[in-house]
Amino acid sequence: MQDDEGTNDIDSGFGDLGLRPELLSALAGLGYEEPTPIQRETIPLLLAGRDLIGQAATGTGKTAAFALPILQRIPERGARIEPVALILVPTRELAVQVSEALYKYGKDLGAKVVPIYGGQPIFRQLQALSAGVHVVVATPGRALDHIARKTLPLDAVQIVVLDEADEMLDMGFAEDIEAILEATPKARQTVLFSATLPPRINAIARRHLKDPVKIQIGLGDVKPGKALVRQSVYIVQRNHKAAALGRILDVEAPTAAIVFCRTRTEVDQLTETLNGRGYRAEALHGGLSQESRDRVMNRLRAGTTELLVATDVAARGLDIDQLTHVVNYDVPSAPESYVHRIGRVGRAGRAGVAITLAEPREQRLLSNIERLTKQKIAIEKVPSVADLRARQIEITLGTLRAALEADDLQNYDDVIDTLVQQFDLRQIALAAVKLSHEASGAVVDEKEIPDASQRPDRSASKGADRGKPERSASGASRAPGARVRENGESARIYVGVGRKDNVRAGDLVGAIANETNLSGREIGPIKVAEHFSIVGVPEWAADSVIDALKSTTVKGKKATIRRYTE
C-alpha cells in the first residue's frame, strides 16, 4: 500500500533519528523524506540533551533541527500544560514562521505554541499564556516584558533556543538575552543557532552553554538548493538601476519575487516605480504596522502581489513557497547576507533565480561573496530593447498556444463567421495577436540602458580584505584602521540623545540596523555623551541612515539627527 511505502521512506530517514511516531506521521504528511545535513547531525545531539552551537545559513533546515527535539519533550495529553521550551528570535515575522512550523510538526501531539512579539495587542498574548502553552516563540523585548509581568512562567522550561543569534545582537538585544537566560532554570538545555560566530556570540556561549557541541553547515553543504539557484549579476550605474531592474523583471517574468533594498526610503521609492511599470508590488519595512505587514504577506501568498520590496530586517526569516526570484537591488556588504537571501529560493527541489544589481564601485563586494560561496557569479548584460521585445513576443506566443488548446473555442464561431465576411483570416489572426500582446501588459520601452559590466582585475582588490575585524567600544566590529569602509570613507552622525536618556551604544546599533540594511559590524565607533551621541557609519550609507533615523525613535524619543561636525 502507498501509505506503508511512505512510512518506510520516513523510517529510512527521520525514523532513524529516534523521533516519536506522531512526529514521523506529521513529517510524512508534509512530504518530508530525508533529513537535511544539519537535521541529521543536530537532532540526535539535542535528543541526548547536549548544549549546541549551530552555524547554519537560511535554507539548511535549521528550524526543524531544533523544533523536532523540542516537540519530542511535549508531555502526553492530559498532563499539565506549561512552557517546556522558549525560543528567542530577532523579528516578529520569524516568530510567526517558527510557531507555524512547530504547530505543523506537533499537531498530532496536541502541541500548544504561541508567538509573542511587539506590535501585537498584549492581551491576546496574556490570554494564550494563561490558557497554557508548551512552547513560547518570542522576540527578546516582548519576552522580557512578560517575564517582568510574571505572565511567562519559566520554572518548567527545559530548553532555550537562540535562533539567528547574530542578528539579535546586531539589533541591540544583547542585554535582553542575558537577562532572559539568567531568568531561566540553570539546569536547562541551551541551543544557539547563528549564521556567523563573532566574538560576542562566543562570549554568550561561554557564559551560558555547558560543554556545547559545535555544528557547522554552510552553503556548500546545501547541494540541491545551490545547484538549482541560477545566480547572475548586472553591472549598472546608479541612475540607471530602477530602469534596469524593470527591464530585467520584464524579461525574467517572475511568479513571485523579493527585491532587497538597503533602506525603507529606497523600498518605498522603488515600490512606487515598479507599480508605475505595471507590476503589483508591495513594500515591507519597519515603518509598517503589524496589520499592514500581515496584509502584505497574505497578498503575496495568495498571488495577488508579484513583487515584495523589502529591507533585510523586515524580510528576516520569511519562507514563501511561491518564490521564484530573489533580487539584490544593492550588493550586500556582508557576504553572509547574500547567502541568506538566495537561500530563500531553490528549496525542496524547486528551481530559483538570484539576481544582483551592482554599481561599478561594488564589484569588490562581489569578489567577497564569490570567495565565501566558492562560486563564480555570471555577469550578464542588461537586456536590450530587442531582447525585451523578443521576450514579450515569446510570452504572447505562449498565451496564444494555451488558448488554442482550450476546449471552448467553438463558442466564438459566430464572431469568426461575421468577421470573415469583411476581412481575410490572416488579418483577423493578426488583430487577435495584437490584442493578446497588448493585454499581456507589454511595456513600450525604447531606451537602451548603458552597459557598465567591464570588470576590473580581481587581484587588485585581494589585499583590501586582509586582517581580522576589530571590535569597537560599542561592540560593533569594524575593519582594521578604523576608517576602512566600503569605499574607503566613513562618516559620523550626530544623534540628539545620550546618557541622560538612558541610551546605550547597543540601542543606537539596534535602531540603525532595524531601520537600514546595515549590519552591526558596519556601525561604529560609537560615543555616548551626556546629552548626545556620535555614531560612525560608512560614508555611502550616511544620508540613508540620517533619513531612516529621522522617521523613527531611539529609546522611545524623537532625536535631532544630522551629520556631525567638530
Q: What are phi and psi of 19, to 5 degrees?
A: -85, 155
Ordered per-residue pLDDT tens for the chain, 566 residues: 333 333 334 444 788 888 999 999 988 887 777 788 888 899 999 999 999 999 876 666 788 999 999 999 998 887 889 999 999 998 887 888 899 889 999 989 999 999 998 877 788 889 989 999 999 999 998 999 999 999 999 999 999 999 989 888 878 888 999 999 999 999 999 999 987 787 888 889 999 999 999 988 754 444 434 447 889 999 998 888 998 998 899 888 888 899 999 888 888 889 988 888 788 899 888 777 777 877 888 887 777 888 999 887 666 656 676 788 999 998 887 777 788 788 777 665 567 899 999 988 888 888 888 887 788 898 998 888 888 888 778 878 888 888 888 888 888 888 888 988 888 889 888 888 888 777 766 555 567 887 776 544 433 333 433 333 333 333 333 333 333 333 447 888 999 998 888 888 878 887 887 777 677 777 888 888 888 899 988 888 888 888 888 877 887 788 889 888 76
Task: Indicate the SS3 state at residue 322.
Answer: coil
Do 182 and 292 belong together in one domain? no
- Cα distances from 486 to residues 270, 333, 464, 537, 539, in angstroms, run 23, 8, 10, 10, 8
Do 49 and 164 belong together in one domain? yes
| DSSP-derived secondary structure for 460-487 | GGGGGG-SPPEE-TTS-EE-TTS---TT
pLDDT at 487: 42
Evaluate whether 170 touches 93 at the Cβ level (below 8 Å). no
Strand order in the sheet with 307-311: 281-284, 307-311, 257-261, 325-328, 352-358, 229-235, 378-380
Domain boundary among 328, 362, 384: 384
| DSSP-derived secondary structure for 205-239 | HHHH-SS-EEEEE-GGG-HHHHHHEEEEEEE--GG
C-alpha angle with apex 461: 456 to 462, nearest 5 degrees?
130
Do 258 and 305 belong together in one domain? yes
Give CA–CA dist 245/260, Å, rounded: 12
Domain boundary among 217, 247, 272: 217
Q: Domain with 478 in it: what CATH number?
A: 3.30.70.330
Do 137 and 279 belong together in one domain? no
pLDDT at 405: 81
Do 194 and 286 belong together in one domain? no
Do 377 and 404 belong together in one domain? no
pLDDT at 217: 73
Domain boundary among 217, 239, 257: 217
Do 232 and 345 belong together in one domain? yes
Do 188 and 50 belong together in one domain? yes
Q: What is the pTM of this model?
A: 0.52
Do 401 and 486 belong together in one domain? no
pLDDT at 484: 34
Do 80 and 190 belong together in one domain? yes
Q: What are phi and psi of 232, to 5 degrees?
A: -150, 155
Q: At what angle do helices 62-72 and 21-29 cross, to 10 degrees?
A: 150
Give CA–CA dist 117/467, Å, rounded: 39
Evaluate whether 490 touches 542 at the Cβ level (below 8 Å). no
The total of structural domains in the chain comes to 4
pLDDT at 349: 56
- Side chain identity, residue 10: I
Q: Which residues pair with 193 in a beta bridge?
A: 54
C-alpha cell at position 544: 540613508
Structural domain that includes position 507: 467-563
pLDDT at 454: 54
pLDDT at 407: 81
Residue 458 within a domain: no
Side-chain half-sphere of 159: how many Cα atoms within 13 Å?
25
Residue 327 within a domain: yes
Q: How long is the chain?
A: 566
Residue 247 within a domain: yes
pLDDT at 464: 38
pLDDT at 47: 95
Residue appearing with cell numbers 519595512:
285
pLDDT at 346: 67
Give CA–CA dist 327/526, Å, rounded: 32
Q: Domain with 278 in it: what CATH number?
A: 3.40.50.300
Nearest to 162 by CA among 94, 82, 61: 94
